[in-house]
A and B are shown apart, each in its own frame.
Chain A
Amino acid sequence: MRYRIQIIFILIITSHASSKQNETQFLPDNMPLHTKIIWGEKGIFRKLNISPNTRQKELQLRIKMLQLHQKLAFGTLGMFFYQTYLGNHLLDGNLEYRDRHSKMSKIVWSSYMLSASLSYLAPPGMVYTKKVNSMKIHRLLSWVHFVGMASLPILGNNISNSADYNKAVQLHQSVAYATLFTMSFSGVLTIFPY
Chain B
Amino acid sequence: MRRVLFSIFIINLVSANEFVITDGEVTYFGEHYLHEWRGVSTSINGSFYLSELNNTYHCSISIPLNSFSSGNSNRDSNMLIYCRGIDFPIIRFTADSITLVDNIADIAGNLVFAGKTNKLKTKVNLIPQNDSVISVVGEFEFLLSKFDIERPSLMFGRISDTILIKFILTGSKNE
Which stretch of B74-82, B124-132, B134-142 is in the interface? Answer: B74-82
Nearest A residue to B81 by beta-carbon distance?
A59
Q: How many whole Å from B115's CB to the nearest CB in chain A?
A: 12
Residues of A close to B34: CB separation below 8 A: 191
Separation of A183 and B37 alpha carbons in the complex (Å): 24
Q: Is the pair A135, B86 in contact by a Cβ cutoff of 8 Å?
A: no
Which stretch of A37-45, A109-117, A121-129 is in the interface? Answer: A121-129
Q: How many whole Å from A4's CB to the nearest CB in chain B?
A: 35
B55 at the interface (CB under 8 A from A): no
Q: Is the pair A125, B77 in contact by a Cβ cutoff of 8 Å?
A: yes
Q: Is the pair A127, B80 in contact by a Cβ cutoff of 8 Å?
A: yes
Binding site for A on B (CB under 8 A): 34-37, 66, 70-78, 80-82, 84-87, 152-156
Report the 10 A-B pairs with minimum CB-CB distance, sorted nearest first. Answer: A125-B77, A135-B74, A126-B80, A129-B73, A126-B77, A193-B35, A191-B34, A127-B77, A133-B72, A59-B81
* Known contacts A128-B77, A191-B34, A193-B35; A59 and B86 CB within 8 A of each other: yes
12 contacts between A and B (CB under 8 A): A55-B86, A59-B86, A62-B81, A126-B76, A127-B66, A127-B76, A127-B80, A128-B77, A135-B73, A136-B74, A191-B34, A194-B72
* Known contacts A70-B154, A126-B85; A194 and B77 CB within 8 A of each other: no
Residues of B close to A55: CB separation below 8 A: 86
Q: How many whole Å from A87's CB to the nearest CB in chain B?
A: 27
A14 at the interface (CB under 8 A from B): no
From A74, A125, A135, A191, give the contact of B81 (CB < 8 A).
A125
CB under 8 Å from chain B, chain A span 153-194: 190-194
Q: Is the pair B87, A56 in contact by a Cβ cutoff of 8 Å?
A: yes
* Known contacts A127-B77, A128-B77; A193 and B153 CB within 8 A of each other: no
A67 at the interface (CB under 8 A from B): yes
A11 at the interface (CB under 8 A from B): no
Residues of A close to B155: CB separation below 8 A: 70, 74, 190-191
Separation of A191 and B72 alpha carbons in the complex (Å): 12
Nearest B residue to A59 by beta-carbon distance?
B81
Residues of A close to B75: CB separation below 8 A: 135
The winner among A26, A67, A126 for most chain B CB atoms within 10 A is A126
Separation of A118 and B11 alpha carbons in the complex (Å): 59
A134 at the interface (CB under 8 A from B): yes
Q: How many whole Å from A106's CB to the nearest CB in chain B?
A: 26
Q: How many whole Å from A3's CB to the nearest CB in chain B?
A: 38
A131 at the interface (CB under 8 A from B): yes
Q: Is the pair B74, A67 in contact by a Cβ cutoff of 8 Å?
A: no
A63 at the interface (CB under 8 A from B): yes
From A26, A56, A131, A190, give the contact of B73 (CB < 8 A).
A131
Residues of B close to A63: CB separation below 8 A: 78, 81-82, 152
Q: Is the pair A126, B66 in contact by a Cβ cutoff of 8 Å?
A: yes
